Structure 1
Amino acid sequence: MNATDRTPADLLRSALAADPARPLVTFYDDATGERVELSVATFANWVAKTANYLQGDLAAAPGDRLALLLPAHWQTAVWLLACSSVGVVAEVDGDPAAADLVVSGPDRLAEARACSGERVALALRPLGGRFPQPPADFADYAVEVPGQGDRFAPFVPVDPGAPALTVGGEELTGTGIGERALADAAAEEMPQEPRVLSGLSYDTWRGLSYGLYAPLATGGSVVLCRHLDRLGAEGTLAREATERITFKAPSALS
């Protein structure tokens, strides 16, 4: 983390400048067998496109609140960084009825319809695939985002001291996210540039820290696993070896 990095979006820009080719997010869904690996450059491109969509087509502005109804997934990580880029407050498992806009996975669409603002649905299919049949009253993320611009610049500078994230009833600023992620890494004695294995969900700060923010803040990468429990102890150990894991999130300890 450089001295000038204050928000998650700043951290991503620094990672892109340092080594765009290195892996940043590797995602497994052990219920389907899916594996996706995104380099810093590829992840940053998805973030830029999503931020352009958020700021442009969805007309989101700094301070707006976005209910994020998604599991631990590489596309969720993209949305979290896109919100940081625009200055939108990402409310993980937030109340759609109280939010300015909502982003939902396929299993929470009924809940998401309580939002009176813009609604975006993610199919969460392999390789970012679209819905076979678009859900009524929602924009399909996989249809809308690919054509967005590859570079992003906010219309309004993002205030690093403004609210940026709410999770588990706690609100953090953009600066607070990076500072707390670094504190977590230090407290857990993560190695330099860690390769982190996390099977934690994204509905707690701990899950977000180990599964995204701490690896990003320390120049590392994350192997984010959904349904990791299906592997069992031997399967998890095999993944640690295959992915060259140097740090395991607490729930992933064997």
Structure 2
Amino acid sequence: MRPVNATDRTPADLLRSALATDPARPLVTFYDDATGERVELSVATFANWVAKTANLIQNELAAEPGERVALLLPAHWQTAVWLLACSSAGVVADIAGDPSAADHVVAGPGRFEDGLACSGERIALSLAPLGRRFPQPPAGYADYAVEVPSQGDLFRPYAPVDPEAAALIVAGAELTGAEVVDRSRADAPGLDLTGPGSRLLSGLPYDTWDGLSAGLYAPLAAGGSVVLCRNLDRLGEDALAKRIESERVTATAR
């Protein structure tokens, strides 16, 4: 595993270190086996999406550090972007959280009606291949694909993010940024993430810590990458074996 950088105290810090170390390497490769979609994001490309989304959070949502953003989203590359953007802006990412208790909501297909319970800003993601726009955004929502392209490519928080402040809520458990980093590093060996070149295929959902760790945080903390698979149950064992070989997967979590 790469040496621990003592300054990496939040998930956003982990991403900055990855960007400084090897920006061209793959970080997130996403498959949706219901649609046939495949998207590969290098560290640099992923970090650019994170910066734009963090600027959207800070400038358009006007979200302040400590506010809660309910993420009503599945395991998806854009969900991973939102998780790191929330960390960058110092807001709390509440996975599958109660919209009525959240300051803002980000929702995907099947959750738009639920998200209307949030009285704050609402962002809708189509989760369509290539991140396509909606023909017409859901009522009460702004379209992420419309709003994010014009955001800045560099992000600077108005105030430093406190690593000891709440950063993530998953399955009812609240974690600080420092706790997310520490748990991710601790999980990496058990997931066979041994450092640069480690590539973990995860078919786990994002609604548990184990799913978030395998599907994003532990590969990032280890200097590795993730092959994030949605609807993996639709893929036969032979096809899965071919994917593992073609993607040079070194470990799996499913």
TM-score range, shorter chain: over 0.9
Partner of 2:241: 237
> Do structure 1's residue 132 and structure 2's residue 138 form an aligned pair?
no
Q: Deviations over 1:164-197 (max 9, x none)?
A: 0000111110010011011111234432221010
Partner of 2:54: 51
| Contact kept? 2:192, 2:251, Cα under 8 Å | no
1:204 to 181, 185, 208: 208
The amino acid of 2:31's aligned partner reads Y
CA RMSD of the aligned region, Å?
Answer: 0.8
Partner of 1:26: 29
Partner of 1:118: 121
| Contact kept? 1:191, 1:246, Cα under 8 Å | no
- Number of residue pairs matched? 250
Q: Deviations over 1:59-79 (max 9, x none)?
A: 001100010000000000000
Partner of 2:181: 178
Query: Scaled by the length of structure 1, what TM-score is found?
Result: 0.97
Displacement of 1:92 after TM fit? 0.1
Structure 1: 5+ residue stretches without partners: none
The amino acid of 1:34's aligned partner reads E
**Cα distance in 1, alignment partners of residues 125 and 107 from structure 2:** 6
> Do structure 1's residue 221 and structure 2's residue 225 form an aligned pair?
yes
SS of residue matched to 2:235: helix
**Cα distance in 1, alignment partners of residues 173 and 251 from structure 2:** 26
Displacement of 1:135 after TM fit? 1.1
Of 237-246 and 128-137, deviating more is: 128-137
Partner of 1:108: 111
The amino acid of 1:245's aligned partner reads V
SS of residue matched to 2:153: coil
The amino acid of 1:217's aligned partner reads A
SS of residue matched to 1:61: coil
Q: Deviations over 1:95-126 (max 9, x none)?
A: 00000000000210000000000000000011
**Cα distance in 2, alignment partners of residues 107 and 220 from structure 1:** 32
Provide the identity percentage: 71
**Cα distance in 1, alignment partners of residues 182 and 234 from structure 2:** 33
Partner of 1:2: 5
| Contact kept? 1:30, 1:231, Cα under 8 Å | yes
The amino acid of 2:199's aligned partner reads R
The amino acid of 1:227's aligned partner reads N
**Cα distance in 2, alignment partners of residues 227 and 12 from structure 1:** 27
**Cα distance in 2, alignment partners of residues 144 and 177 from structure 1:** 29
**Cα distance in 1, alignment partners of residues 238 and 99 from structure 2:** 40
1:195 to 196, 199, 220: 199
SS of residue matched to 2:40: strand
**Cα distance in 1, alignment partners of residues 192 and 149 from structure 2:** 39
| Contact kept? 1:195, 1:245, Cα under 8 Å | yes
Structure 2: 5+ residue stretches without partners: none
**Cα distance in 2, alignment partners of residues 158 and 31 from structure 1:** 38
